[in-house]
Structure formats: structure tokens, C-alpha cells
Structure 1
Amino acid sequence: MTATRRPFGRGPAVSLFTLGTMRALASQAQMDAVVRAALEAGINHLETAPAYGPAETFLGAALARLERQGRRPDGGWVVTSKILPGVSFSEGRSQLQASLKRLGLHHLPNLAVHGINRQEHLLWAQDGEGQQLLQWARDSGLVGQVGFSSHGSHALIAEAIASGLFEFCNLHLHLLDPSRMELAHDALARGMGVLAISPADKGGRLWDPSPTLCEDCAPIPPLTLAYRYLLAAGISTLTVGATQPQDLDLAHRLAKASGALSPAERSALTRLEQRRRQRLGQEHCGQCRSCLPCPNQVPIPELLRLRNLRLGHDLQAFTQERYNLIGRAGHWWEQLDASACQGCGDCLPRCPHDLPIPDLLAETHRLLAAPPRRRLWG
């Protein structure tokens, strides 16, 4: 089908939705099925990484099979893969060449630095062997453009965007966590492509919403509203981590849904915000980040965001899962949970809404602390 495409940095235009390959790893047959479904849904952009186990190998075989059948999107596939920061020039060069071999490609349209999550990751890309590696990848013709993904702080992401080193970025942009939208709009204004990471799953397990959230978004399903919110804001492309072809049905239906929000969608967004605020009352955290920095390094806004979602929309499973991942995912997620608050009160005079932050953090821990769940990979 002919689907809407948007500019993505200086590279080829991409479909409104991107197939993320991290969840189709059970077998080659599973990857084949979801890639075929992506093609039928009008998707031309595929996102993968060596860190996703056999994803590149499975994807390369799936693309080769479709190529033999003469099946490809108009203009061909646009593939994004990644490389972890910190590797030496020689090691990185070998890793990139190995990725191309696994994918069956001579040229990779997009190469992302996989996780600029700490300052040293950005410094690696700005100078020394990292800068040498990224420049060689471009100059050699093996890579079309370079970008980055990040699970890092707002300040770090803003610095990476402003550095001028990158043509695109992959960010956590979600209906229920719009705090990074300002960063996305800055990147778009600079001509960068912006990919929204996991707006369905990391955005609140919206494929399995609570009855409360469904009522708050009615008559629009929460996942549909989340996708439309991001697309109407001009985000270049949204990832869908499909495990089966049916997971791409909504992306198929919304393949051309790039227009402005409808009155019904605007009304649903307003109601969603109003109901969350009503339930939380004067204890609603507006995510202004004025409480930072915490002398004990407690990530106050992120923790109170989870509290907002737990009490505001009854997202128990999602918030517990995210909370109990804290300290277990290295630099990919927060390191300290609410129990690290020492009650020093340093944040209290900085909060413009006079929130009793230490008390709210203690409540957050009581609400969400539970036996941790295993990560999807690793």
C-alpha cells in the first residue's frame, strides 16, 4: 500500500510507523511473518541492533527472502541499526561490517549510537575514537547518516541534539509522558529526524490499558490516541515492536493518519489530563523538574510520574514493572528508587506547587515496590 512518509534527517523519507525487531526473536519464521506484515502495512523503516540477539541475522534473512520474491517497499527498505558507545575505532569498524553482513546490506541508511545515556557516551561520539569511527562510517559510504538513541537526562539529550553531530535521534516520547516533547521539537526544528521509542509498551502498556484509562480516553482507544498525539505533533516515525502480524494492524489503519488532531481527539486529550489532575488533586506532580538536583541523586520527577500514572489512571502493572526495574538495568534506566530519599527537604522550597515531596516518594515506594520482573532481553 502507499503510506504517508516523512523526512528523516538527511536520509530517505520514512513511514509513519517503524517496525522494531526486538520482539520477533523466537524464530526465523516469526521475523519473516512480521516483516511481511510490515510491508503490507506500508512500513518501509526497520529498526534493529546487534544488542537484540539474533535480530540482525533474522532480519537479513527475511529481507533476502522478500527480495527473491520481488517484494519491497517503493524506494526500498530503510534500515536503522546501532552501535554501542565506547568501542575502539578498530572494534567499531569490525562491528559495523559484521552488522552489514548479517543484514545482507552493502550500505546502511541510518546508524545510531545505541544509548547516549551518560556524559561519557556523548564525549566518545564527540572526540577521539568514537568521532573517528562515525566519520569513517560516513566517509566510507557504508552509512548514510548518523544519529543516537537515549534513555538519559533531559540536559544530556539537549546537549546531544545541539552538538550538530547527528542527523536523527530516537527518544522516549509518550502520550502519558510528554516531558521530552520539547526536546523532540528542537530536534525537528534543526532538521533532524525523530523516532519515538516504544510509545505503546514503554508508553504505558497501552496495548493492555486499565479500564480507568479506557474511560479517560473514550471514545478513542488509548493506543490510538497515543499514536495520533505523536503523529499530529510532527514526530517523524513511531516504533511498533511486533511479535505477530496482528500487532501491526493499527499501524496499517493509521498509515496515512498524519493530519492535525480532530475535535474528538483534542477533547479526549483534555479529558485525560483533567481526570488525572482531579484524582491527584493538589498532589499532582507537573514534571517541571524544579526539584532537581537532589543531593542524594533521587530521580524525583520520574518517580512521581509513576505515582501520577498509578493513582491518576490506575496503571498498576505498568508502574510496578517500571519501578521494580530501577537499579537493575544499568545506565538504561534509573539507579535509585524512592527508598533512597533521606527526607532532607532540600527539594521542598524549590517546588512551585509546595508538594510534600518526601512524603509522596515514601507513598510511591509503598504503592509500587514489588518483586522485580525479568527484562525482555539480557
Structure 2
Amino acid sequence: MRALGSVEQMSEVLQAAVLAGINHLETAPAYGPAEDFLGQALQRADRQPDGGWVMTSKLLPGLSLREGKHQLLKILERLGCNKLDNLAIHGLNRPEHLDWALQGDGRALLDWAQGEGHTVQVGFSSHGSQDLIATAISSGRFQFCSLHLHLLDPQRLPLALRALKRGMGILAISPADKGGRLQAPSPTLKSDCAPFTPLQLAYRFLLAQGISTLSVGAAKASDLALAAALQRSDSPLTAEEQSSLQRLADHRRGRLGSDLCGQCQACLPCPNEVPIPELLRLRNLAIGHDMTPFCQERYNLIGRAGHWWETLDASACQRCGDCLPRCPHQLKIPDLLADTHRRLQAAPRRRLWG
């Protein structure tokens, strides 16, 4: 989704992926010319991984059966392949998206795709609620899922482990960039993770949990250097890695003191539908690891990214106090939300996609 300058750029990344030991390519029609470039790069390639490529692409929810069939056949045409290994619903973020996938045209589309041999497995990616993802996992409809799983935001990790127990494959969405722009960390975060780099620690944290695939958004060959270095690094965390993770948490706790939000979710539901834990998580990172630029970027996407992100920011808090007696740490939540808004409000930036 990032090597979009030319077919030559995509070919460079593809060649580096083979050398790095990568065998899984994930793309989507929504990623501009990615599928066209990837298909042409695959035709030009003079080598491929042992056993060939694992190919994943995605379709947006809500398509009619006719349009879905047309779009899937066009995906195969662009990629120059007879079938996908994995077809995902791209952004199963709302209850109506799940309803579409489990019945009606969505169900018929997935059944047709597998029945006709156009894909081996069907799955979903989701930026939705915990309850929605849990329902999708337990539905029995899907063989894999792609979730936001991050070192600095492990909220969905229990869902991923539940899916793994069901035999589902798990892809971690953007553990580097969406995980905190860890490819370009703040000096404070680098110090907090030493002697490991933040990205190295983040990858190892997920691999040690049994997560089967980490997505790496490579725009150039050098972006895959760490992936190459971490081949077959899915062993349990070492004592040194565990020590670094503990120091990371200790530093965050020390800087935030009694204002640290533990992300327990007890404050929800908010009568005004303010996503309190997510907003205070950004505050945790801004103060705890000096990640203000990243947190401002995420905060100022709120309300501007449709169903891909939150719709209400901290200014929506009406100070009703409904959350206060439910917080086990007795946080002054309205005050912390106001502080979050003051710290992170900035000029909005455009999303990479959408």
C-alpha cells in the first residue's frame, strides 16, 4: 500500500521481501494503483519464496452480490493469479457490516468466492468495537482476521488469542506506523525501550504471543531490514526483552503518576458516547513517552475518517460525571479529557487512505 511511485518501486520491494524471507503479500483495491503495480511486479520477478506467495486482497462491505463478484474477478485479473489464498472483508467496522457478511449478499458473495475456487479462505479486517470483533470471531464464518495489535495498545490481544485458539490466522495491522510511528520514535521512547529499538520490541512482543503475521508497510527495500533480521524470531520473550517491557511500563507510570489511565473500560458506556479510554490512551502516550506528534495526528483524525476511526473527540464531554464512580482508580476523567483536548488539538491531517 506504500510502494506506489512506480512498478519499478514495487518490484524493488518485492525482491527485498523474498530476500527477507517474507512470503505473504496483502493488498486491496482501495490502495490506489497497488494491485496493478503488484501484478506487474509479480510478472517481472525472477524469483519467489519457497512454496510461492501467499496472496491476500480485500473487498469493502456492503457490495451487492453482482458488484462483489465483478470486483473479485478484477482483483484476480490485476494480480495475474487464478485465486487468492485469503479474501478479507475490508473494514468490518459496524454491526451492519457484520450482518452483511453473515447473511444476504455478503454471505452469498463469500460462499461463491470459496465455492468457485476464487479464494481458499475468507476473513475480515476490523477497526470496530471489541464486542463486534468478538462476535465475528465466534460466528464460525471466518478463517482469519486482521486486527490492530500493538505493543503500546494491546487491548485487542485477548481477542487475537481467542481467535488463535479457534485455529484462525491473525494478521497484526500496522504494528509500526499505527502502533505509534515506531519506525521514527521519539528520543524518549527510544530510551524507554533500550537496549532494543521500539520497533524491534514491538515485533517481538507480538511474535512471542503467537501472532501469525505482522504487516510491514514497505515503501523501499530498506524498510524490510528488520523483518529480515527477525526471521524465525517467534520464540518466547527473553529475560532481557521482558525487562525492557517492564521498564517501558514503569517509565510511563512514573511520568503520568496517578493520572495514568489503565484502559480497563469501566468508564464505558459514556452517555454522550465519548470514547474515553481511547482518548486517554493517546494522552498516556503523549505524556508517558513524548509521542505528541503521533497522538495529535490520531486525535485530529477523529470525526474525519468515517467508520474507520472514532467520531467524537474529548470536547464532546459534558462533565455529567456518570463515569466517575465507575473508575477503579478514581481518575478525574472530565479534567483529563479537557487536558487531552488542549494538548492534542491541532490542524487536521489527511489520512493515507479514504
SS of 2:109 mapped into structure 1: helix
Secondary structure at 1:144 match in 2: strand
Q: Residues 3-54 of structure 1, C-alpha deviation per residue, up to 9 Å, x if partnerless?
A: xxxxxxxxxxxxxxxxxxx111111111111011101101000000000011
CA–CA distance in structure 1, aligned partners of residues 135 and 268 of structure 2: 18
CA-to-aligned-CA distance 1:181-207 (integer Å, 9 cap, x gap): 100000000000000000000000001
Considering Cα pairs closer than 8 Å and 6+ residues apart, tell me whether 1 or 2 has the greater RCO: 1
Distance 2:321 2:7 in 1: 54
State the one-letter code of the partner of 1:29: E
Segments of 5+ residues of structure 1 without an aligned counterpart are 1-21
Report the Cα offset of residue 373 of structure 1: 1.1
Q: Matched residue pairs, number?
A: 354
What residue number does 1:56 align with? 35
Instruction: String of CA shifts for 1:153-206, please: whole Å, max 9, x gaps.
Output: 111111111111100000000000011110000000000000000000000000
Residues of 2 paired with 1:62 and 1:93: CA distance?
25
| TM-score normalised by length of structure 1 | 0.93
What are the equivalent positions in structure 2 for 1:188-337 lying under 5 Å apart? Answer: 188-337=164-313
Unaligned runs of 5+ in 2: none
Which residue does 1:120 correspond to in 2? 96
Deviations 1:116-148 (A, max 9, x none): 100000000010110000001001011100000
SS in 1 for 2:215: strand
Name the SS of the counterpart of 2:146 in structure 1: strand
Aligned residue number for residue 152 of structure 2: 176
1:60 maps to amino acid: G
Residue 30 (str. 1) matches residue 9 (str. 2): yes
Does 2:348 correspond to 1:369? no
Q: How far is 1:367 from its partner?
A: 0.3
- One-letter amino acid of the counterpart of residue 279, structure 1: R
Aligned residue for 1:105, secondary structure, equals coil
| 1:304-338 residue CA offsets vs partner (Å, 9 max, x unmatched) | 00000001001011101100111111000000100
Separation in 1, partners of 2:233, 2:247 = 22
Give the corresponding residue for 2:21: 42
Helix, strand or coil at the partner of 1:82: strand
Q: Say whether residues 1:105 and 2:81 are aligned partners.
A: yes
* Aligned-partner Cα distance in 2 for 1:30–1:321: 27
2:329 is the alignment partner of 1:353: yes
Q: Which amino acid aligns with 1:214?
A: K
C-alpha separation in 2, matches of 1:328 and 1:177? 21
CA distance in 2, matches of 1:112, 1:75: 22
| Residue 292 of structure 1, CA deviation | 0.7
**Counterpart Cα distance in 2 of 1:112 and 1:374:** 25
Where 1:188 maps in the other structure, the secondary structure is helix
* In structure 1, distance between residues paired with 2:173 and 2:66: 29
Give the letter for the 1:193 counterpart: G
- What is the root-mean-square deviation of aligned Cα atoms in Å? 0.7
**Partner SS for 2:76:** helix
2:104 matches 1:132: no
Deviation of 1:113 (Å): 0.3
Shift of 1:56: 0.6
SS at 1:286 equivalent: coil
C-alpha separation in 2, matches of 1:351 and 1:27: 51
Secondary structure at the counterpart of residue 11 of structure 2: helix
Matches within 5 A, 1:147-186: 147-186=123-162
Deviation of residue 258 (structure 1)? 1.1
Write the distance in 2 (CA, Å) between the matches of 1:107 and 1:74: 18
User: TM-score, with normalisation over the residues of structure 2?
Assistant: 0.99
Deviation at 1:377, TM superposition (A): 2.9
The 3-state SS of whatever aligns with 1:294 is: coil
